[in-house]
Structure 1
Amino acid sequence: MKLPTFLIIGVQKAGTTSIYDYLQAHPQVYMSPIKEINFFQVDWDNADEETKAKKPNGINSWEKYCQLFADARDELALGEASPNYLFKYQDSAENIHRYLPDVKTIAILRDPVERAYSDYLMHVRDVIGKPKSLVEQAQQVPITSFTIRKGFYYEQLKYFFDKFNREQIRVYLYDELVKNPVEMMQDMYRFIGVDDTFVPDTSSKKQVAQVPKSTTVNQLLRGQNWFRSVVSSALKPIIPLEVRQKIRSKLIKMNSAEKKAMPLLPAERQILRELYREDILKLQDLIQKDLSKWLD
């Protein structure tokens, strides 16, 4: 049976999609064809049928999970990337240790303020719920916002450090990926045990943050609403689906702008900085990396 030898465990909005591609490009690496499987977040052996039925990608048993790696041939390293494993650290760490006690784990951490800001913009862009401002989310007592809570890395990572040998865990910073992606990836290649002289093509970004010029127009184009339903019904008999999708994509692009069009104000940034300060200081000692830039 072929099983993963490494896992990308975190975090969202820290370049994991690009890293997945850089790993997949290596001839000695096999990556699961599904990204963000999120298998280890749940104890599927004891899950009820309703929970199993709700699993988005249908990977709700150990047998189905193993099938993701059945096509691997002579690759030296097999892996998958589910950046929510770190956030769901208790269940994920326990289940990973149960099934893959010797697996190597990789976390890519991003300045929690920037990570939350990027996450927030994604929710606005993709019309995911009705997000409150980051400050409103941060000032809730207790904090229930996943967007904010995902940035408290210390306890999440310490749980993995306590559960696994430290030699099994490698922590990178998103800043390292931005500054020198090839150098970081070659270090990662060494960690997972493949040829570290391979040079991935890092010339293009997988995801570029954008925000809508008009949130109202964006909601009409992306959200589930009466406007989209009426327009779709009217155009369906006369315009093919592919053409309608192209028109919609063009309209979305016309309504898109760079993220600087929806900036995080200095006062808002400072509130978030103070919220994360203590956690950052503890994390800095835990991973032995200079995180002073995250405190400025």
Structure 2
Amino acid sequence: MTNNDRQPSFMIIGAVKGATTWVAHQLRCHPDLWLPDAEPHYFSTEYDRGPDWYRGLFDPAPEGRIIGEKSASYLAHPDAPARIAAAFPDMRLIVQLRDPVQRAYSDYCMYFRRGMVGPDPRKYLDGGRAEASRFLQGGLYGAHIGRFLDHFPREQLYVIFYESIKSSADAIVADVCRHIGVDVHVAADEIASRKNDSTAPMLPLSLRRLLKPARPLLDPLRSNPLFARARSAMAAPVRYPPLTEELRGMLRDFYQDDLLMLEGLLQQTLPAWCPRGNRAEAGSL
């Protein structure tokens, strides 16, 4: 596989809150690969910007590198599969799936720490409420992957299960390299890295809102030791509203039929969060 006119040859397509930042970081450590730092979201929410804008995102790629990109929004976007297939029918796709119940709760927690939702998870995770749409739709993996398989052959899609990373991280990175078509390269010092960790201490929400207008001035100071110590002294872990067993059960019921669809589409061993069939120990691929 070669760098084709400085266009991507592989894409990490989701899922949102599925730890896709981890796999993207591993691929950025590969000496033969290059991905832009920001997610383009071109084939989902930024399609109106046009192909010239999209191509321009890859101009900084060093000559000779195989180019890819990560936009976690692609998996759930109804138009992304057809758009990608029309532009790049041979695209190598990578998707990372997490227990959809935990994914939905993680999505809620992200919005909670940003102050965008209230402290009652049920209001946002109950399938019978309109507010739940944003948080539940992203975990309908069977429906989303089904749309991609309408446009791409199964062999062009490599599936990672989030639960596998703890036990098989090296093997996952090696398999992804082979799927892309490059020599296997595992950065041993980075393999256990955690990205976008929701347990990291944060400044109080009220202070973050107060400081938001000054972000362009403050962000360059993050590497300053005095600034970092001052921030650390004020930061604390976010206390998230818990996911109750009742709500967890409701979410399991919500996703059951879709997960059975996923099992049939992939025809491979699935983690234990799949309701039946090949219910291997979580972490198997």
Query: How much does 1:82 deviate?
Result: 0.2
Letter in 1 for 2:85: H
Corresponding residue for residue 249 of structure 1: 231
SS of equivalent to 2:95: strand
Query: How much does 1:5 deviate?
Result: 0.5
Contact persistence 1:221–1:252 (CA under 8 A): no
Contact persistence 1:186–1:199 (CA under 8 A): no
| TM-score (norm: length of structure 2) | 0.80
1:16 to 2, 13, 20: 20
SS of equivalent to 2:94: strand
Q: Which has the larger radius of gyration?
A: 1
**2:133 matched to 1:145?**
yes
Moved more, 167-176 or 64-73: 64-73
SS of equivalent to 1:23: helix
2:64 to 70, 74, 86: 74
Is the alpha carbon distance of 1:68 and 1:212 closer, same or farther for their aligned partners in structure 2, counting shifts above 3 Å? closer
**2:269 matched to 1:281?**
no
**2:183 matched to 1:195?**
yes
Corresponding residue for residue 30 of structure 1: 34
Is the alpha carbon distance of 1:131 and 1:276 closer, same or farther for their aligned partners in structure 2, counting shifts above 3 Å? farther
Corresponding residue for residue 117 of structure 2: 130
Query: How much does 1:133 deviate?
Result: 3.3
Deviation per residue, 1:52-79 (Å, 9 max, x gap)? xxxxxxxx2312211222333122x310
Contact persistence 2:9–2:68 (CA under 8 A): yes
Contact persistence 1:42–1:91 (CA under 8 A): no
Corresponding residue for residue 98 of structure 2: 110
Q: Which structure 2 segments of 5+ residues have no match?
A: 276-285
Corresponding residue for residue 86 of structure 2: 98
> How many residues are treated as equivalent by the alignment?
260
C-alpha distance in structure 2 between counterparts of 1:270 and 1:35, whole Å:
36
Is the alpha carbon distance of 1:115 and 1:144 closer, same or farther for their aligned partners in structure 2, counting shifts above 3 Å? closer
1:165 to 131, 153, 156: 153
Deviation per residue, 1:208-265 (Å, 9 max, x gap)? 222889xxx8331223xxxx27xx8xxx9xx9x9489657733552x315x7x64322
Is the alpha carbon distance of 1:248 and 1:284 closer, same or farther for their aligned partners in structure 2, counting shifts above 3 Å? farther
Is the alpha carbon distance of 1:145 and 1:221 closer, same or farther for their aligned partners in structure 2, counting shifts above 3 Å? farther
Is the alpha carbon distance of 1:154 and 1:133 closer, same or farther for their aligned partners in structure 2, counting shifts above 3 Å? farther
C-alpha distance in structure 2 between counterparts of 1:256 and 1:143, whole Å:
26
Corresponding residue for residue 51 of structure 1: none
Contact persistence 1:6–1:80 (CA under 8 A): yes
Query: How much does 1:109 deviate?
Result: 0.6
Contact persistence 2:17–2:103 (CA under 8 A): yes
Letter in 2 for 1:67: G
C-alpha distance in structure 2 between counterparts of 1:9 and 1:173, whole Å:
14
Q: Which structure 1 segments of 5+ residues have no match?
A: 48-59
Identical pairs, percent: 29
Query: How much does 1:143 deviate?
Result: 6.4
Deviation per residue, 1:64-122 (Å, 9 max, x gap)? 211222333122x310000110011x211121112112111111111000111111111
Is the alpha carbon distance of 1:204 and 1:211 closer, same or farther for their aligned partners in structure 2, counting shifts above 3 Å? closer
Corresponding residue for residue 44 of structure 2: 41
